[in-house]
Structure 1
């Protein structure tokens, strides 16, 4: 396979390098200038030129001699190394920023923390230091070196490793004593050692001449990628193969020029030179594919570093499953069954309760009507549901083709969609309260037994709005089906969304097949006016809820003005009716809603200061998991009704809250579009919320929880992640 053809060659090459390194290291002290010239391939007189180049390099990187904030340079044949401080005094801080600075001759390199197939990184022993509790070294983004099929990662020229030094006693001078061991390589490799001593005196922590050098290098240390406009979308592996295969999808705000990928973790995984298997037309979305010496298990925790010029990102993530190129008929059949069940159960989710009034009014309006009229009316409602799902599928395919984030319910992240829904549902509310009637042409309505029923257009629109308002919910089986669809192509997306629509439309289809269910209801009469009023209250509550979500998106002022405009519309429509107090219930409901909106910002601020939830950050998450902590992650949004149900019934449960106080609880808000959150969901094969996952010593890859939580499920997952089960 990939590595089989060159394993023997690589082994022989490493033996040659070791022998050469030993010979050079053993003779370096006694070598004359002529011998050094021969070893380095320099012609007569070139050694003087090389030394001059080193002097020039040292002068360009700072004073050659030791200063008040730097150790002396320690020279060797391939360059020099020293220790610098960003401050002239320790001040009163608990830590100071140092820098380990290498200045290398042309064509010589040192290695990154994960060197690749050969070499080893610099190591620092701080034994003998004074007032130094511990240190933390940061690694700037590396570059790749390929030589005869051997892949390594490291640095050429000048590199500074930022080092955070934690002091034992703030305000007391720091005496840093560093024993450095490193390997310098060109066409041959030379092990080197250096002893560096740096004194940072007491006194004010004023900036030293080296602060800009170290901070510039610190800026090259990969973070989560957001500052660089890079986002990790998916990281997957394909099990069951002799050689491992890993694919990583990356999205960038600016076009990617030459992206590279470095992989760490999982038994020192060794990866081939990455190949770009997919690239979008605008080069903002690429998929990098690498082969590994051995298979990497699904769920294995790996650290991925993506570098594109001066941009870089780093993330520690569990590997998902790389979908095979072809799915069996059995697998597709299972997914379609889950899609049907998910759509059917969606009718029972809390998101559809606001449109229950539309369904009820559809039923009772057919009381006493002819069966044929009832049948075609409910067929129209089912068609509205299917049309909506096909519309969602088409929009999803379009967004996916452009490289945009896709997911279930993400239209509620768009202020334009929310404003349209607020206006339309306000008009529906006014209609149910009898403030105005929608007059349709006679050819759009039908007569059944002398009783005028809803027209087919009204029934069709009922199905559309039932679908749109149901999308903030995630029902059981729905997430699996949607995740499968969004990981495939347009055909699969259309097929699965169509089956989802059939599942949700099934109640309408059943009434169309058995119209007696609606015909036997009492005929419309005075009682229906009161029922319509109650159903209107349900829609008014939906408007209030949408205004609270709208307030988070565009601000409280805009939301309040929008709500006031809706109240004005209701008032204008009601002014034509008598008595004048008839619109009072409407105004009261909307006014209460505006009061709720005014409290949204304060409520969200209060919740953020409760101390239980920390902001979601994948790097912080990986740090806690690496340190053996249990971490509970909650992805939520203000427009997600199921999320609110989980929060009210489960995450606010006394036993659950007590247990979460003993772990790290992190929460991500997906109310507004967030590429980072979308990428995190995608790596788990999820495209909708709610989504909860638990990490810990017993579940480093994470335990994904079901959409509908129970206290028992959460507590059991926390125990499993802690390794107690």
Structure 2
């Protein structure tokens, strides 16, 4: 009987514990709305109470499936931040909501900030009396989006007495983890320089943010604090300030659907998120005249014109231009109007291909993908396709085979278009494709500006690049009489054909060599050898053994000329490559903090200019010897294949292509950026400046 009584007593005690409002589990459990299963929420109290402030920590957990996302307190150009309305609650004053650092999303040109997957928001409940029964009645409104957006409500209902709660270790862990993800607020002590200042230029409609901390890798900067106003980043870069040392300066355009933004005298928040580091600043907006070092769009267009023109003499493009000129020479009776039409068609092909490239880049920007000049050469299928096309062009020009079927394909692939200009149009597009791995002087600056600019500037600069590259074609189209000054056709034309087809085959072999980063080289050697053998056999069969001897003779003469002009680079055999360290921004910061100088080389196997810089400058004394000194760390970023960290590094410097070289050191912790075409003097000067405060040997030591 006593046993039954004991069991009965324990049963009632357990039932009392379960049903007692003060001891109920302080959690709603997972709440799901049947109209939107991909999202669910849970509200939990940690069970902790602060009697001094009458506050209770809590969390709101959100779980989203797939690509669904919800939004930050300031969503950006779209979306709605989640909210909780506490109507009907008792013993509740207010609820303070803190927001973990958000991600940045971009879709169709709209920039938003929010969260994907699992997100936990830390909350603080302020109650009137921690000993009084409390009723929580809340409605969570959650906005979630993929390609569509859904607004969903969830009901919170909890009854408890705060000081009777028991600690929930899982909820406490979730709360502490969520708090650690909230950007830390930076406060300025009285008498110190402010950590951040903001100024509004009403004439430009722009906000300038100056942060006295430039030690960021690739930060995302978010401005909020003014309802109905959004701020979109225009430029973000470190700068030198006489008063405050290194600064990070951001320029933003302000937009409000109510009209002109009214932000003067108001306090705005600046949140900076960079990897695992996140800080939040606040400051009053003051009037300012923004004088950022922004390059004029007209000067960028001029640089693009010059860079596009220089592309014509790059080894990738020259064979195509030569083929076009040789086609005119081969047809001396061609009418001026026909010459004009053919060269205009090629120029239009160049223009169209640059516009297509700009459109493709714009599409990548709108979808938030990595962009850059020459990134298509990171794709083995594209490289293989280009190797095939250049080989077909070369052999077709030599007459190894004729493409007869289908007739449309014959017209498009023929190196001369006859009366049909579509083949000439495709020649222009083909030349542009071959130009993309080249980085001519002025080209990198113009492309970097274009890739970071608005849509109109992007197309304006790519149009200027196209016009610059098409300039030789346009000159002949404008003055077709220049064809009369070309030599009359003769046997020498065979030599010209062989020369340009040989250059195309060399381009093919170079493209095949790029596949070594994707395919075992054992498969590539037979392919390259087969192409070379076909060329030699055909030459011997069609032109006799003398043709082989002539080719070898021309090769020897050209090699001798090149060797004489570059004697300083080849007089000594190229030394062994440097002991490169993989590119890492954190490692750069550590090395500089230790007083060392870091030389960064971002390169790619498909980048011809990169190869020229390496052979002509980096592997030559005195630069080579200097880079081997103990206080200098050579660091390489290989962009041959897609690499998200290297792409982010380039974009953090407002660069979108290679080559890219930077020198860091105690004298230049933010780095000294070098031009696309290196010279010994520039590299030595940059290293000396960056090493200025190390007390180590300067650049003279490497001489």
TM-score, length of structure 1 as denominator length: 0.52
Rounded to whole Å, the distance in 1 between the matches of 2:437 and 2:314 is 10
Is 1:618 the counterpart of 2:585 in the alignment?
Answer: yes
TM alignment of 1:179-218, pairs within 5 A: none
Offset from partner CA, 1:603-633 (integer Å, 9 cap, x none): xxxx998453211111111111222211110
Partner of 2:71: none
Partner of 2:594: 627
Partner of 2:633: 664
Is 1:379 the counterpart of 2:344 in the alignment?
Answer: yes
Partner of 1:545: 510
Q: Tell me if structure 1 keeps the 8 A contact 2:213–2:246.
A: no
Offset from partner CA, 1:309-362 (integer Å, 9 cap, x none): xxx54599xxxxxxx999999922222222212211222334434545434434
Deviation at 1:275?
A: 5.6
Cα RMSD of the aligned pairs, angstroms, is: 5.5
Is 1:473 the counterpart of 2:438 in the alignment?
Answer: yes
Give SS of 1:654's match: coil
Rounded to whole Å, the distance in 1 between the matches of 2:328 and 2:371 is 35
Is 1:708 the counterpart of 2:677 in the alignment?
Answer: yes
Is 1:423 the counterpart of 2:394 in the alignment?
Answer: no
Is 1:512 the counterpart of 2:512 in the alignment?
Answer: no
Partner of 1:677: 646
Rounded to whole Å, the distance in 1 between the matches of 2:215 and 2:499 is 63
* 452, 458, 461: which one aligns with 1:487: 452
Deviation at 1:274?
A: 5.2
Partner of 2:424: 459
Rounded to whole Å, the distance in 2 between the matches of 1:628 and 1:699 is 11
Give SS of 2:622's match: helix
Partner of 1:686: 655
TM alignment of 1:63-212, pairs within 5 A: none
Q: Give the aligned length.
A: 453
Partner of 1:696: 665
Deviates more, 1:523-532 or 1:615-624: 523-532
Task: Give the direction of change, closer, same or farther, for the CA distance of 1:298–1:426 in structure 2 (3 Å limit).
Answer: farther
Partner of 1:406: 371
Q: Tell me if structure 1 keeps the 8 A contact 2:447–2:461.
A: yes
Deviates more, 1:436-445 or 1:482-491: 436-445
Give the gaps of 5 or more residues in structure 2. 1-21, 23-47, 59-93, 102-123, 127-175, 182-195, 226-231, 251-270, 280-288, 553-573, 699-703
* 307, 313, 317: which one aligns with 1:342: 307
Rounded to whole Å, the distance in 2 between the matches of 1:430 and 1:363 is 19
Give SS of 2:661's match: strand
Task: Give the direction of change, closer, same or farther, for the CA distance of 1:351–1:313 in structure 2 (3 Å limit).
Answer: farther
Rounded to whole Å, the distance in 2 between the matches of 1:389 and 1:289 is 25
Task: Give the direction of change, closer, same or farther, for the CA distance of 1:623–1:442 in structure 2 (3 Å limit).
Answer: closer
Give SS of 1:687's match: coil
* 323, 329, 352: which one aligns with 1:358: 323
Rounded to whole Å, the distance in 1 between the matches of 2:548 and 2:582 is 43
Q: Tell me if structure 2 keeps the 8 A contact 1:275–1:288.
A: no
Deviation at 1:640?
A: 0.2
Give SS of 2:317's match: helix
Give SS of 2:296's match: helix
Q: Tell me if structure 2 keeps the 8 A contact 1:357–1:536.
A: no
TM-score, length of structure 2 as denominator length: 0.54
TM alignment of 1:561-576, pairs within 5 A: 563=528
Give SS of 2:635's match: strand
Deviation at 1:703?
A: 0.9
Offset from partner CA, 1:515-540 (integer Å, 9 cap, x none): 12223212322221122112221111
Rounded to whole Å, the distance in 2 between the matches of 1:722 and 1:348 is 37
Is 1:645 the counterpart of 2:612 in the alignment?
Answer: yes
Task: Give the direction of change, closer, same or farther, for the CA distance of 1:221–1:476 in structure 2 (3 Å limit).
Answer: farther
Deviation at 1:461?
A: 2.4
